[in-house]
Chains A and B, each alone.
Chain A
Amino acid sequence: MKNGSIISIKNVTKRFPVGEGEFTALKNINLEFQRGEFAGLVGPSGSGKTTLLNIIGSLDSPTEGDALVLGKNISKLSHKESALLRNKHIGFIFQVYNLLPVYTVYENVEFALLLQNIPKAQRQKMVMEALEWVGLASMADKKPDKLSGGEGQRVAIARAMVKKPEIVIADEPSANLDAANTHAILKTMRELNENLGTTFLFSTHDEKVMGYLDRIVHLRDGAVEEDEIIKSKTQS
């Protein structure tokens, strides 16, 4: 499944204006992620994890250097093109599940497909398939407030995965989950990664999450401290 570069970060620097000066969040980062990787960015607060995820997720662009995602240079994309890239190819999983409270589980997952104008019959098939991946097909009609934390996060995974994106970016996905739920969602994501070949990129400092990763990029003060290739425990 791991064939070819999907994300290429070349000499990326990101600076933010702070008062009259500047804060450098990323310093000359060089990274390459292959299709189908299950990797994580790890580091303390302020190490640049979220900034790097923002750039890879086409939510932000580098101040210097090139970030190529699926062959597209993020710096050169317009707002619309960035939105289209996210819409078609990138899924997001947040720390808080961020489900739309007035819609059912089914509708929350369906929303990602509505943005792509996929016909209803196809949408229905895809949504139910995604809910089956995360084991929540029977809860399709439930509202988010009737779900447990683990179930909510699994709906968020289904929403990110339903469009079968090439890349899924997960920002601290276990932050609000207990150990059992953390393992459950990680197993689900690992299966999806293996079955669909989706590249998963995490930002985490949770040891439990790290245990599932094939690769851990350690960041400190905006620079890559260590790029650690490991064999995931699930595969061992």
Chain B
Amino acid sequence: MIQFLLKGILRDKSRSILPIVVVSIGVALTVMLSAYMKGAFGDMIDQNARFETGHVKIMTKAYAENKAQLPNDLALLEVDELIESLEKDYPEMQWVSRIKFGGLIDVPDEKGESKGQGPAAGMAINLFDEESGEAERMNIESSLVKGAMPQKNGEAIIGHDFAKKLNLNIGDEITYFGTTMNGSMTFQNFVVSGTIRFGAAAMDRGAIVVDVSDAQKMLDMENGAGELLGFSKLNAYDDEQVKELADSFNKKYADDANEFAPIMMPLREQNNLGEMIDYSNYMSGIFVFIFVFAMSIVLWNTGLLGGLRRYQEFGIRLALGEAKGTIYRRLIMEAVLIGVIGSIVGTMIGLAGAYYLQIVGIDISGYMDNSTMLMPSVLRAKVTPELFFIGFIPGLLAMVFGNMLSGIGIYKRETAQLFKELEV
């Protein structure tokens, strides 16, 4: 019987083409939007993790309370010992120290006179230790616009637009003005080894990247760091795992009233990322629901029109002795067949679109000029295995639901009227 129904669907274009087109469009949009949401939110979360929050972040309790002000006077001390203990307790994580600092960059001319100045947002990471993976994690090498990675202490990378604004060239010397963790003034000269563009407006404005040892020396933070970031060695963020990890770490210091006691914050508790993670999870569900709803209405109407067209067929089938319930069930079976065909077509189209969006992405840099949010300037989709089946949910549900509604008419059919109806 399924073969018989399939023949009917494939041969009767008006029965199959419109529903298949509707299902395909809906499924393709669901797949593409899910991929785009997943990719865009995933990139945002990933970028935040790599540049800002880690999968977990350890700070002093006081630093955590005022972290927006980059209070290096409240930084962690004896960081090497803390990292050693963390590596022992949580071997599944990799730990790196970072220092963020603000200040002023001054560019001297040949005579040593200031020829330009600008506010700097500095970040100190471990640039020289390959095992730390920091340079790779922050895509420094591939984000370089000019020049090269710092090879030794005293070299720095400057944001490309910042360098252009200050008219800086590779090899030029710059002076950093700022305050140490003890509040005294500090001056430090760096040689520009390269210019960089991270692709996140919030990062690129006034960026200066130096090695963490240079920053420790410059800011009087011997064996200190503003933040310790932990990254899963599998490089995949697991919300549950890091929550358990943070709970276990914080338990140890729960009764410590010292404001310099460390506190661990999982990614979701920083920068409203928890809401973003939840939002990205909900969005796929919402898309599926919207498409199920919208497509059901369209397919309901399509089904009603199909029901009118097939009025004669259903009449014959009733006369031939097919029970109403059987006709209704076979109508649903047809819906499943059409839904599957439409879902396969839609998934293929959606995956192609998602793949295109993964490669090309959508450039939103024009909207990000004044943004303080850490997010990529090109939002890309992400093709994941679940995309191969996620479209089948709206595709099948909408088609079946639409046909269930429209097929109710079969039950209203009076067999006593069949002779009259079939005479037309």
Contact = CB atoms under 8 A, between A and B. Distances in A.
Given A98-B312, A102-B11, A103-B8, A111 B419 contact: no
A59 interface: yes
Contacts of A50: 419-420
A221 interface: no
Contacts, number: 80
A86 B1 contact: no
Given A102-B11, A107-B7, A171-B419, A87 B322 contact: yes
Interface stretch (A89-97, A127-135, A190-198): A89-97
Contacts of B8: 100, 102-103
B321 A115 contact: yes
Given A53-B419, A54-B419, A60-B416, A92 B319 contact: yes
Nearest to A60: B416
Interface residues of A, number: 33
Interface string A23-60: 00000000000000000000000000010011001011
Contacts of A60: 415-416
Interface string A113-144: 01100000000000000000000000000000
A167 B116 CA distance: 105
Interface in B1-42: 1, 4, 7-8, 11-12
Nearest to B323: A83
Nearest to A86: B321
A80 interface: yes
Nearest to B1: A114
B320 A115 contact: yes
B50 interface: no
Given A100-B313, A107-B4, A94 B419 contact: yes
Interface in B370-423: 415-416, 418-420, 422-423
Interface in B300-339: 312-313, 315-326
A213 interface: no
B68 interface: no
Nearest to B15: A102
The residue among B11, B12, B312, B321 with the most chain A CB atoms within 10 A of its own CB is B321
A84 B8 CA distance: 24
Nearest to B416: A60
Contacts of B318: 83
Contacts of B325: 80
6 contacts: A50-B420, A59-B319, A82-B415, A83-B321, A83-B324, A96-B422
Interface of A: 50, 53-54, 57, 59-60, 79-80, 82-88, 90, 92, 94-96, 98, 100, 102-103, 107, 110-112, 114-115, 159, 171-172
Interface of B: 1, 4, 7-8, 11-12, 312-313, 315-326, 415-416, 418-420, 422-424
